[in-house]
Chains A and B, each alone.
Chain A
Amino acid sequence: MKRSPRAALALALALLPALPLGGCVNDDVHLYEVTLRGEIQVPRGGPYSGHVHLELRHARSGEGGLAYPLRRITTIELDGVGPFEETFLVPTDEGEGLVAYAWLDRDGDGLLCAPGTSDELAGLREVDGFPAHALEVTILLEHPCAGAEILYAP
């Protein structure tokens, strides 16, 4: 539909008072450095091979009816299961709490359980103690094909 030029002009004039007079406002992003140390474990007997995808998420974000869990902060790839130590920058204005979620990419396709695959394991743990600059977590990968959402109870 095309609006007539006169109608568009009238609408523009009617809305002119709504123009912000102060220009743009750029929000600061507040980042909090966290060094996370811990271990990715699998059940006794493996599987052990494959890279591990480790995601750091906020436990809670939003307010009221728009509150939700597990806002993603970042994802990194580890060489495999076992001990790790990584440093993250956590945006403190976007949520509260920290959750670590990981899964083992056994076939190396970058996908947790592509169609027809059912033997890739995932695990999730809430990271206690945030905010603090040094935190520890151990994640046991024991749930086949599980997304973070089904492993976390807000």
Chain B
Amino acid sequence: MSRPWWLIPCALLGLTCGEGGGYGVDYDGTWIPVIDMHLHPGDWDAIPPETQTFLASRFPFPLNLRPDRTADQVLSATGIVGELDRGGVHVGVLFAVYAPRTVGVATNELVEAGVAEYPKRLLGFASLRVDDWASAGEGELDRLEEALAEPGMVGIKLAHAHMHFRMDDPSYFGIYELAGRLGKPVYLHTGSSSFPGIALEPAYTDPAYLEPAIAAHPQTIFILGHLGYDFVDHEIGELETCIELAHKYGNVYLEPSALGSEGADPSGENYPTILRRIREEGLVDRLIYGSDGPQSPGFVGEYLERTVTAMERAEYSADDARALLSGNFIKVFGAEAGQ
């Protein structure tokens, strides 16, 4: 597939591209900075064996020969910053994850260390364990609050399907109360997933089940990750529910990571269709960009290219593109993100 020259992030070409010191994209003649709000650090040994096998099967040859080495190279903070550089992305956000039955564990401490190592390039989202909530929940909330007090830790990452807790269970609403009190937005995985061990029942994947939490916590910002995409059947999934929630609640934002990748959207039609629907609904001011990288070497830049292509097909203006790629993130997360 040939790529228009202006879609290629300048850093990839080793050029200086004016504003941003080589980062950002040129969209319709306008230079736009890029913030990727969805990146996963980690290490190979903290990933369950079944998921290691799954991930290795997705690495291209010859990287699949030593998936542990490939993963550790791209999943370190240095590796991720390298991927941001290659992709032309100014700032990335690292997610902590506590999902031992699916993708594994990336601790708050790991994320904090990465952010401390690259304070001008990386921000962090903290998370918590929920699998012994009745007896350990209070302690987990305390640990989460401590993590969120660390420099550059700007939000909370949850993934009900990976962590196995119902979206509508009020037992866990203390997480949203804490988020609102601290002014830290909550990112929530919505939609299915093809990872082994995932909870695929609607109560764990369908954003409709989040409505009681959203309604009860108007001071908390909810970012609906993946827009309810069906990663199993590569279908648009629960997008309309996300749109409905965003219309109904001003504290709902939308994030289109991963769904537009080559694997998740083989035809290349779903991603532009989704972005078009959001533009038609007047909700571009709620869209925040993320890739769900690094996944494999080059993915961060590749997803940015696919996003630019999808925006063009969805007839996004330069102002729309700026809102998606960085403007809305800066609006939600404030000056911390603009450093």
Contact = CB atoms under 8 A, between A and B. Distances in A.
Given A1-B301, A150-B165, A153-B132, A66 B105 contact: yes
B289 to A, nearest CB: 19
A151 B262 CA distance: 39
B131 A153 contact: no
Contacts of A70: 131, 164
Given A18-B65, A115-B211, A147-B166, A67 B100 contact: yes
9 contacts: A18-B65, A70-B131, A113-B168, A115-B208, A147-B164, A147-B169, A149-B130, A149-B166, A150-B133
B171 interface: yes
Interface string A95-138: 00000000000000001111100000000000000000000000
Interface in A1-34: 1, 8, 11-12, 15-16, 18-19
A107 to B, nearest CB: 14
A149 B62 contact: no
A99 B97 CA distance: 26
A15 B169 CA distance: 48
Contacts of A149: 130-131, 133, 164-166
Given A61-B101, A112-B203, A113-B203, A69 B171 contact: no
A62 interface: yes
B62 A8 contact: yes
B131 A154 contact: yes
A62 B134 contact: no
B100 A150 contact: no
A19 B165 CA distance: 40
A146 interface: yes
Contacts of A153: 132, 134-135
Q: How many B residues are at the interface, by size bracket?
A: 35 or more
B62 A66 contact: no
Interface in B55-78: 61-63, 65-66, 69
A11 B66 CA distance: 11
A18 B46 contact: no
Nearest to A147: B166
Sorted nearest first, the 10 A-B pairs with minimum C-beta distance are: A12-B62, A1-B298, A66-B100, A68-B100, A147-B166, A15-B65, A18-B66, A68-B101, A115-B208, A18-B65
Contacts, number: 80
A12 B66 CA distance: 10
Contact of A1 (B63, B86, B101, B104): B86
A5 to B, nearest CB: 12
User: Among the interface residues B65, B104, B169, B209, which one has the most CB atoms of the partner chain A within 10 A?
Assistant: B65
A67 B46 CA distance: 11
A133 to B, nearest CB: 27
Contact of B169 (A11, A115, A150): A150
A71 interface: yes
A150 B203 CA distance: 13
A106 B62 CA distance: 53
A37 to B, nearest CB: 27
Contacts of B61: 12
A11 B59 CA distance: 14
Contacts of B63: 11
B33 to A, nearest CB: 20
A145 interface: yes
B302 A1 contact: yes
Contacts of B48: 62, 66
A12 B61 CA distance: 8
B171 to A, nearest CB: 5
A46 interface: no
